[in-house]
């Protein structure tokens, strides 16, 4: 993963005070994709934050995109988001911190 892109994503998402933040670079799965031709990456973000309490899934995504949207379309071509509250993580056996 481009460490500059990772650092930028981490720094901007820090404002959400995440208790868990994982950033996965899936760019290797999209080699040959038109968006990848420019060198932009495909990323998957898993984030857990109290900030998401009472927010819909759409509002959570908007909160994230408000902070990182200017990184799209370059250096981030695609961003998948998995956003949860700490209580959702604790109650869902499929997802562990």
With a cut of 90, say whether residue 94 has pLDDT above it.
no
Written as one string, the DSSP assignment of 25-92 is: E-GGGGTT-GGGGGT-EEEEEEEE-GGGTT--HHHHHHHHHHHHGGGTTTTEEEEEEEEE-HHHHHH-
pLDDT digits (tens, 9 = 90+) for 4-32: 999 999 999 999 999 999 999 988 775 66
Q: By percentage, how much of the chain surpasses pLDDT 90?
A: 68
Q: pTM of the prediction?
A: 0.84
pLDDT for 1 equals: 45
Domains and CATH numbers, the chain: 3-91 (3.30.300.90)
pLDDT digits (tens, 9 = 90+) for 50-93: 999 999 999 999 999 999 999 999 999 899 999 999 999 887 65
């Amino acid at each position: 993963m481009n460490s500059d892109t990772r650092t930028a994503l981490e720094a901007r998402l820090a404002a959400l005070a995440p208790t868990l933040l994982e950033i996965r670079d899936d760019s290797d799965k999209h080699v040959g994709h038109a968006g990848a031709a420019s060198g932009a990456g495909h990323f998957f973000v898993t984030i857990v934050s109290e900030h998401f309490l009472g927010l819909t899934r759409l509002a959570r995504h908007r909160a994230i995109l408000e902070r990182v949207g200017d990184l799209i379309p370059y250096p981030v071509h695609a961003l998948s988001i998995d956003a949860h509250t700490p209580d959702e993580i604790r109650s869902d056996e499929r997802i562990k911190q």
